[in-house]
Structure formats: structure tokens, C-alpha cells
Amino acid sequence: MMEHLFSPYNIKGLELKNRIVMPPMCQYSVENKDGIATDWHYLHYVNRAIGGAGFIIIEMTDVQPDGRISDYDLGLWSDEQIPALARIVEGCHRYGAKIAIQIGHTGRKAEHISEPVAPSAIPFNEHSKIPRALSTEEVKEMVEMFRKSIQRAVKAGFDAIELHGAHGYLIHQFHSPLTNKREDEYGRDLTKFGREIIEAAKSEMPEDMPLIMRISAKEYVEGGYGINESIEFAKEYQKAGVDMFDVSSGGEGPIGSRGRPGTHAAYQLPLAREIKEALHVPVIAVGRLDDPVLANAVIGNEEANLVAVGRGMLRNPHWALEAAATLQKETEVPKQYVDGFRRLIDIKR
């Protein structure tokens, strides 16, 4: 049978009611610089569960205070940060969504500290601070920080983990030849850092919990890598244990003449499709897919397994319910909101 946006989807033990994903989006809404989720985060995420999204991925959550973009980012470097996240997990589950968390480290893109760290002492652009290159020992400690954060995420009850390997953050900085000029084992082998994090993650996660990795499948700076190179490094990550890729692009530095990220609908979809075909791996497509007819076609044409809608869900927490009405697909509407959708539901009948 033809699959569509409201077909259920299973990957390992993760059972989703539809193909609609809320992708990670930083809210910069921590109140006391303590990395702890607030009522804003609870309301923001649980509202998207009420609004019908099948899968919610919490924004980039950092493994260390210095790994934050700003002082207002979420963190998982302490057990004290677990309960507020566990509450969000429970809320999303109550309203029928499954939930993951994006674990990451900003590396050289940290904006609030005097000395960010990176694989090599190369700044993001001419206005940013020159980062300090991590020692080999510190790189190994960093892998352990990822491990501990993932252990805490599992304790909080998440259904899946996403590693942030995109947008020019630390894992991306290690696998990009532009930002990793190291001479040690982590420079001779550009994916070693990412692979060790994947292996550490898998050792902390239950057997049936999927590991997702977000990658930038293409860089936009002069001399950056393209899809052929990202297929190769993604294969190594897949071998190390990644179950699904969330395919984004860019973020590594000032945009060069090589090309700009598109602003048209589905601008990153060809990248997702290529990764899916080359690796025979499930993928999440993202980037201006907020027209329900288009999102539905992505699934029907088997270009991606899941579709993420970011800015569309910032505008409209009930994006998924309205998409069901537009596409005339069955979906559960919270009983409190049935009146709001009744006319549309009647049309369906």
C-alpha cells in the first residue's frame, strides 16, 4: 500500500503514529544559565504533541557548559537537568508523540565564553574568537562527556537520541577537512571522534532504541565538501551504529561563492534522497517542507522516511492536525479541540 504522511512508521523499538517530525530548534529559554528546561520548554514541546506531530526532537542540548551557543541553551552535563526533561517526555507521551533529544557541543561556535574549543585553532569567521585546539586527552574526555549526557537522556525516558553532527558544531568540525588540521589520531582519521561518540552512545542506549545523527550533507564555504564526501563519512557513521540520518546542510562558516543554501521549497530534499539511496538507510528530510501536499509527496515518492517541519511548527503548533485536514487523512484530534476541526472532519466523512 502507498505510504503517506499519516502512515505509521517503526524503526527498531520506536513506533511513530505518523511521519511528521518537529526538528530540533533552540529556544534560548533557560532562565538561570543552569541548562535546566523551563515551563517555556514544557509548553512549547507538549503543545506540538497535542498538535499532532508524531515525533518531537528537543533542541540542541549540550554536554558541557562551554559547549553551549549561549548561556540560555539546554544542558545535560548534570543529573539536576534530568527531571525537567523527564517531565517534557511524559507530557509528549501523554498526547501520543514520541520524543528524542539532540545532543551536541558547539565547539568553536560558542558565543558566550572567552575561549571556545575546537579540533584546530581556526575561527569561524573574522569576527569570532580564535578557538583553542583540544589536546588528544581532552578529545577523549569529550567523548566521555557525550556518553554521560546520553546516559542521562536515557534516564529521562527519551525514545531516541539524535547526535548533532551538522551545522558546523563540534562533531562536524572534526569531520570537515576545513576545520580539522590535527596531526594526532583524530586528525589522521576525520571520523574517529564522531565514531567514538556513536559507539559510546550505543553502549548506553537500550538495544532497540534508534540512534539518529544529523549531518550537513553539503558545505557552502569555498573548498567545502559535497554530497559525495558526505556519503562516504555517513557510511562510516552508519557502520559505527547510526540507525537513521537527519539530513541538513551548511553552517560551517561564511558562505562562499560555491553556492548558497536554497530558500525554495524542499531545498535539502535531494541530499536526503541521495543519502537514503547510497546507504540504504532511513532518513529524515528537512527544509521548507511545510506545504502538507509537498510533505505528503515526499513520503509517497519514498524520498525520505520522515519529514521535519521546523519554522512551520513555530508558526503553527497544530501544523500536523491541519495537514491531516488538508490531506483528508485520519488522525486523532484531542477531544478538547474537536470543535475546532469539526467542519474539516465532516468534510472528510
Ligand X SMILES: Cc1cc2nc3c(=O)[nH]c(=O)nc-3n(C[C@H](O)[C@H](O)[C@H](O)COP(=O)(O)O)c2cc1C
Residues that bind ligand X (CB under 6 A): 23-26, 59-60, 102, 164, 166-167, 214, 248, 286-290, 309-312
Query: Which residues fall within 8 angstroms of residue 6, CB to CB, at 6 or more apart?
Result: 18, 19, 324, 327, 329, 330, 331
What's the rounded Cα separation, in Å, for the pair 264 and 65?
36
Least Å distance between CB 237 and ligand X?
A: 16
- Residue in 1, 100, 2, 78 with CA at minimum distance from that of residue 33: 78
| DSSP line for 319-340 | HHHHHHHHHT------GGGHHH
DSSP category for residue 121: S
Least Å distance between CB 290 and ligand X?
A: 6
Smaller CB separation from ligand X, 56 or 139: 56
Least Å distance between CB 190 and ligand X?
A: 20
Smaller CB separation from ligand X, 67 or 187: 67
* Strand pairing class (14-16; 9-11): antiparallel
The residue with its CB nearest to ligand X is: 310
Q: How far, in Å, are 84, 176, 205, 292 from residue 202 at the CA level?
A: 24, 23, 5, 34
Smaller CB separation from ligand X, 182 or 225: 225
Residue 312 is placed in which grid cell?
512551520
Smaller CB separation from ligand X, 109 or 164: 164
Least Å distance between CB 36 and ligand X?
A: 17
Smaller CB separation from ligand X, 102 or 179: 102
What's the rounded Cα separation, in Å, for the pair 236 and 218?
16
Least Å distance between CB 65 and ligand X?
A: 17
